[in-house]
Amino acid sequence: MKSEIYTPGHSENASDFMARRTFESHGAFFAPYLEQGLSVLDCGCGPGSITLGIAARTAPGQVIGVDAGSSQIERARAAAAQQEVRNVRFETGSAYALPLESGQFDRAFSHALMEHLANPVQAVRELYRVLKPGGIIGVCSPDWGGFILAPPSPGLTEAVATYTALQARNGGDVNAGRKLGLHLAAAGFEQVRMAARYECYSSLAFIGEYLAAQLEREGDSHSAAVFREWSQHDEGMFAQAWVSAIGVKPR
């Protein structure tokens, strides 16, 4: 397997960026498949902001969030305690070898994970394993082939290409979204359906700093400066395509 590195890292800036995401803002595509009493796995849960939304919808069903980053799990546990969410727990673990029993969950969910994995099909097969027969999976990843960036510039185009190459070197794929349906089918899921939407970021400065910090950490101060300069445009726009896929484990 190719080696992989989580490109965003686990800095405070990156964690704050992820914690802005809620189930309502980023997981709503899976809402029709959730109901009270269901057991749910959130694989790649990060700081747990989406996971807690799932727990609210499925209580008293048990929800488990798993992430490879121990700092993310600590933050998720703190958020659950602060919000007094009782039907959720968070565990450190690899998406390739989940520390969970087979056939344990009614639903499996994963958001913004597959684009960082060198072998996403293997991870999806693990989600298949822990689902009950008839269980439903929902996954979502960005696809940079649908980017809308304004105002355009040669420097910005080059900076995006640099980030794309960085993600590939780290074992990921910025165009993972379009491949999710294929991954689910390869893992054995049936009735696979895909959809897409756009997210328009309200703060260019925030997204600009998020991307710049990752490039700067890799020693590319030039591309980082391009993102920061671009993010100062009040008339600018950053719109990202998100692709979701739903599948059913055969009974």
On whether residue 2 sits in a domain, the answer given is no
Q: What is the pLDDT of residues 127-177, one digit of tens each?
A: 999 999 999 999 999 999 988 988 888 888 888 888 899 899 999 999 999
The token pair at 195 is: 């959809």
On whether residue 103 sits in a domain, the answer given is yes
On whether residue 154 sits in a domain, the answer given is no
User: Which structural domain range is residue 62 located in?
Assistant: 12-143+171-198+241-248
Nearest Cα neighbor of 210 from 1, 61, 18, 60 is 18
On whether residue 79 sits in a domain, the answer given is yes
DSSP conformation class of 4: -
Nearest Cα neighbor of 235 from 160, 152, 153, 150 is 150
Between these two residues, 21 and 146, which has the higher pLDDT value?
21
pLDDT value for 13? 77
Structural domain total, the chain: 1
Task: Please compute the mean of the pLDDT values over residues 56-83 and round it to a whole number.
Answer: 98
pLDDT value for 230? 86
Nearest Cα neighbor of 56 from 90, 78, 76, 80 is 80
- pLDDT exceeds cutoff 80 at 202: no
Task: Please compute the mean of the pLDDT values over residues 63-73 and round it to a whole number.
Answer: 97
Other C-beta atoms closer than 10 Å to the C-beta of 54 total: 27
Task: Please compute the mean of the pLDDT values over residues 220-242 and round it to a whole number.
Answer: 88
Q: How confident is the model at residue 190 (pLDDT cuts 50, 70, 90)?
A: very high
Handedness of CA 90, 92, 94, 99 (dihedral sign): negative
On whether residue 88 sits in a domain, the answer given is yes
On whether residue 26 sits in a domain, the answer given is yes
- pLDDT exceeds cutoff 50 at 194: yes
Q: How confident is the model at residue 1 (pLDDT cuts 50, 70, 90)?
A: very low
Task: Please compute the mean of the pLDDT values over residues 238-251 and round it to a whole number.
Answer: 96
Report the range of poorest mean pLDDT among 94-98, 171-175, 233-237: 233-237
CATH number of the structural domain spanning residue 180: 3.40.50.150
Tell me how far apart the alpha carbons of residues 204 and 182 are, in angstroms, rounded to a whole number: 33
pTM: 0.92
pLDDT value for 79? 98
DSSP 128-151: HHHEEEEEEEEEEEEEEEEEEEES
Average of per-residue pLDDT values in the chain: 94
Report the range of poorest mean pLDDT among 95-109, 136-150, 183-197: 136-150
Q: How confident is the model at residue 33 (pLDDT cuts 50, 70, 90)?
A: very high
C-alpha separations of 155 from 59, 150, 151, 161, 170 in Å: 49, 12, 11, 10, 23
Q: What is the pLDDT of residues 43-54, one digit of tens each?
A: 999 999 999 999
On whether residue 98 sits in a domain, the answer given is yes
